[in-house]
Amino acid sequence: MESKNFACKTTNVIYGSISEKYEIFEKIGEGAYGEVYRGFDKERRRIVAMKRLKMSSGNRLPKVCLREMETLQKAQHKNVIACRDFIQDEKSLYLTMDYAPYDLRTLINRTLSYNMKFEPEEVKFYTVQLLRGLSHIHSQSIIHRDLKPSNLLITHKGILKICDFGMARNFSSTEKLYSPLVVTRWYRAPEILLSYGKYGQPIDLWSVGCILAELSLMRVLFPGTSDIRQIYSIFEALGTPSEAVWPGYSELPIVRKTNMVQFPSSKVKAVFAPLTDSGYDLVTRMLTYDPNRRITAKQALQHTFFGEENVLEKPSTESDHREKKKMPVKRKSEDAESHPDEMVPKKRTWRRGDELRM
């Protein structure tokens, strides 16, 4: 499933007329397996996202939809967007999900449009939530395989929710080949780019490292326009790997048949110059070439980057940007009814333990 406004958590199967329980508004997204609409749950009195699923031949759900739903039943967590109902009537099949009005890509773009940047405390606020959700997903033996800013939804309260598990797979510790055609190129780990499918959960941490760097630098870290340019974008920033830093590198399939350009590793510190020492240490541990040495999500949550006490302004939603620019906030009545005071920017004290206990 490719919508950016939902995933799945606890599903209640309902048979009957959709209009009895839900009002359907405008279309907000579309993917290979369905269209997504903003809707209103009449019983719960809240805005939801509703995905109308496309049926395959024989009036059956595509296998990818069934696989995603099965996978997400295991991924029940505050930082994974929740799916509430599965509704079937004579004409359609719908999944209803908790609605999140923003995604991290939108927030990044809007922040840039105001010639602003994320404060360090905001970077920590979003990163720690991403790691908490990912740590749980990994504990359930799942690889997400498509972490990127547009797959990280943000609620009115600034809570981050991982979504779009269409590429997710159950992970086995035994040697197994997976498809190399996963993860949006800019966030794709080098072992995917170089090794024809031999990878595991560390690929998700590479993606998190790219996202953390992007939030800190306000630019895409490795913006390759093709796979080979993506490889060289990584090598130019981090230095071309060697057997010393990545045992087995020289035997990777693409490395064996390609004369790789040798870039020095002396530029690494300059690339991440805007980061604090602890931020630099964390992002480079996430962007470690050798996946066996790459930091895990659970380990990253204990990093000193999250150890300081900070005063954090409520995360940057559209209304926050309007507030900073002294622009009027226009809200839809449905959102106001469901979220009477969540759009008001607030000051709050952020401590490492606060988010770890969310």
Helices (H), 13-103: 63-72
Query: Measured between alpha carbons, how far is 61 from 68 in angstroms, rounded to an integer?
Result: 11
Question: Per DSSP, what are the bridge partners of residue 41?
Answer: 22, 46
pLDDT score for 118: 96
pLDDT in tens, 104-152: 999 999 999 999 999 999 999 999 999 999 999 999 999 999 999 999 9
- In order, the DSSP letters of 269-282 are HHHTTTS-HHHHHH
What dihedral angle (degrees, nearest 10) is formed by the CA atoms of 159, 216, 103, 330? 80
pLDDT score for 2: 42
Residue with tokens 């939603």: 317
pLDDT score for 57: 62
pLDDT score for 176: 57
Which structure tokens are listed for 241?
């790997």
Question: Per DSSP, what are the bridge partners of residue 95?
Answer: 51, 86
Widest distance between CA atoms in the chain: 64
CB 114 within 8 A of CB 141: no
Burial of 55 (0-12, 13-18, 19+ CB in 10 A): middle
Catalytic residue among 41, 85, 98, 146: 146
pLDDT score for 270: 95
Sequence ranges of the domains in the chain: 12-98, 102-306
- pTM to 2 decimals? 0.81
- 51: annotated binding-site residue? yes
In the CATH scheme, what is the homologous superfamily, with its name and number, of domain 12-98?
Answer: Phosphorylase Kinase; domain 1 (3.30.200.20)
What's 102-306's CATH class?
A: mainly alpha
What residues of the chain score a pLDDT lower than 50? Answer: 1-10, 174-175, 310-319, 321-358
Note if 146 is an active site residue.
Answer: yes
* Beta-sheet pairing, 12-15 with 83-88: parallel
pLDDT in tens, 66-115: 777 777 778 889 999 887 787 877 667 888 888 999 999 999 999 999 99
12-98 and 102-306, same CATH topology: no
